[in-house]
Amino acid sequence: MAPPTYYATRNRPPSARATRDEELCERTQRVFDDNYRVDGARKVRRALLRQDVPVARFTVRRLMRRACRAPAAGGQAQDVSDPAQPKSGPTCCGGTSLRS
């Protein structure tokens, strides 16, 4: 990459997509936490639509994947009685726990 292109890219303001992704990331995190961290992208999207936040399913899926928000594994017993107590679980994205 040529130096002028590098510095032009580095000094450019965030795109509209990046700005919206930042806002949606916080909202998806809130909805995901409110539902005991067991809902997938489809249910998180439906909850956002009920809150009058228009968003595509694949956008929610991309944001959840980027932030390592994976729902609890299906078919396994899950203890969701006290969501305030984080449980240790598998990790991704540099050691952050999926359940904490």
pLDDT of 78 reads: 56
Amino acid at the residue 19:
T
Calculate the average pLDDT of the chain. Answer: 80
In a domain, residue 62? The reply is yes
Structure tokens at 42: 């489809």
Residue 77 lies in a domain: no
Q: What are phi and psi of 80, to 5 degrees?
A: -115, 20
Domain that includes residue 27, residue range = 15-70+88-100
pLDDT at 94: 43
- Give the whole-angstrom CA distance, residue 34 versus residue 37: 7
Q: Is residue 5 part of a domain?
A: no
Whether 75 maps to a domain, the answer reads: no
Residue 99 lies in a domain: yes
Q: pTM of the full predicted structure?
A: 0.65
Q: What are phi and psi of 91, to 5 degrees?
A: -115, 160
The pLDDT tens digits of the residues spanning 10-33 come to: 999 999 999 999 999 999 999 999
- Using one digit for the tens of pLDDT, what is the confidence trace for 67-89? 887 776 665 555 556 656 555 54
In a domain, 4, yes or no: no
Instruction: Tell whether 78 is covered by a domain.
Output: no
What confidence score (pLDDT) does residue 68 get? 82
82 domain residue, yes or no: no
Task: Please tell me the total count of domains within the chain.
Answer: 1
